[in-house]
Amino acid sequence: MTGSQARELRRRLWLNRLQMARVIGYTGTDRNDDLRVKRLENAGDPVPLYIARLLWMIEGNWQMFGSLPNFPQWQGYDFDHGPDPSHEPV
């Protein structure tokens, strides 16, 4: 998958770059994640295979059910934009 194909897929799903970042699992700051998707779409290199496969599955879900997957909220995976308290200096 090329960056332009990823961009086209994002547009077919009616997502902005930040929404796409969240769908593929980026959990950084809004600005950083938006930039990561922008770089992914504009890079000359192919989209990493694991992201391309994920986008392919998401698009299939969209075509089948008319919506993005409803991701569950697993315990311990609530993301916050602040630092992880388990990694603070002792």
Nearest Cα to 3, choosing from 51, 45, 33? 45
| pLDDT one-digit tens code per residue, 6-44 | 999 999 888 999 989 988 888 888 899 999 999 999 988
Average pLDDT over residues 46-57: 88
Give pairs for 63-72: CB < 8 Å, separation 24+. 68/13, 68/23
What is the per-residue pLDDT for 90? 41
What is the per-residue pLDDT for 59? 82
What is the per-residue pLDDT for 3? 93
Say what percent of the chain tops pLDDT 70.
69
Q: With 0.85 as the threshold, say if the pTM is over it.
A: no
